[in-house]
Chains A and B, each alone.
Chain A
Amino acid sequence: MLHFIGFFLIVVSGTAGELCIGRAMKEVGEVHDFRPRALLRVAGRVMRIKWLWIGIFLMAIGFFALLGVLSVENVSFVAPVTALSYVVGGLGGTFFLGERLNRPRWAGILLVCLGVALVILGKH
């Protein structure tokens, strides 16, 4: 049960956090200038966006859940299982960021899910 809660937090909280950060970065816009001073200016701008902080908070929850699960499970098992976040990410990208998921991209995401299922089946 604890493992289930751990994986749930990694996938749902972690992905929700990434989506919030994705939204913050979309508000900043495309980064063209990669010089350190320009990147610092981008960092300054993004730090004023609330979605960044909500995202960091949610990702922190996911991170500590990941540490907990990693203390008892193999990393080669934990990492692929967390790919379940592709489903959450695909839905979140559509509804939260307004991205359009075409058929090939959905097919790719479904293949990723199938791969995760095989990884789980291959545990024992």
Chain B
Amino acid sequence: MEAHIREKQLRLKTRLMILIMVLAGPLGIALLAKGMKHIGPTSVTSLPDALHLLGQILGSPTIWLGIAGQLAFFVAYSLALSWADYSYVQPASSVAYVVVAILGIVMLHESVSPLRWLGIGVICLGVVVVGRTHPNTTGTP
């Protein structure tokens, strides 16, 4: 009975962290893309070029917001990894690809072909298959 409750708690808190990951991560990467599109294609051939580009990156509020989103993702991810398998958490978080595609359309006016949607759907199917396995296979708590 106690093991059953513990299993339930493990799944619940793992799913909560994955929820944070699939919302904050995509928003972060979409903001990074928006910031980098604003800067334009990068061409670094010398140290001054690299420093100039770094200045542009660090001076962009959009990129900082993107970094904040990625940081939120990173914290949730690290916490989840303290109790669940890497090979469970990483694939389960791939639902984020659907969210990224939606944000790409809404925020960056990208077009997503039917084949790309199919690919994203297959990725999600993979996520479902992975999600049905036990989160921890190493026996460590």
Report A's interface with B, CB cutoff 8 A: 18-19, 21-22, 25-26, 28-31, 42, 46, 63, 66-68, 70-72, 74-80, 83, 85-86, 89-90, 92-94, 97-102, 104-105, 107-123
Can you list 20 A-B pairs, Cβ within 8 angstroms, ordered by A? A26-B82, A28-B82, A31-B83, A46-B78, A67-B57, A75-B108, A79-B26, A79-B96, A79-B101, A89-B90, A89-B91, A97-B86, A98-B138, A99-B85, A99-B138, A108-B91, A112-B126, A119-B115, A120-B119, A122-B115
Tell me whether B45 is interfacial, beta carbon within 8 Å: no
Contacts of B129 in A (CB 8 A): 104-105, 107-108, 111
Known: A108-B126, A118-B122. A74 touches B32 (CB 8 A): no
Closest A residue to B97 by CB, please name it: A80
Listed in ascending order, the chain B residues whose CB lies under 8 Å from chain A are 26, 29-30, 32-33, 36-37, 39-42, 57, 63, 70, 77-79, 81-83, 85-88, 90-91, 94, 96-97, 100-101, 103-105, 108, 110, 112-133, 137-138, 140-141
Residues of B within 8 A of A89 (CB): 86-87, 90-91
Q: State the majority secondary structure of interface residues on B.
A: helix
In the complex, which residues of chain A have a beta carbon less than 8 angstroms from the beta carbon of B138?
97-100
Q: CB distance B116 to A75 under 8 Å?
A: no
B81 contacts A116, CB within 8 Å? no
A115 vs B122: C-alpha distance in the bound complex, in angstroms?
5
Q: Which of chain A's residues have a CB closer than 8 A to the CB of B41?
A: 71-72
A-B CB proximity, top 3 nearest: A122-B115, A118-B119, A111-B126
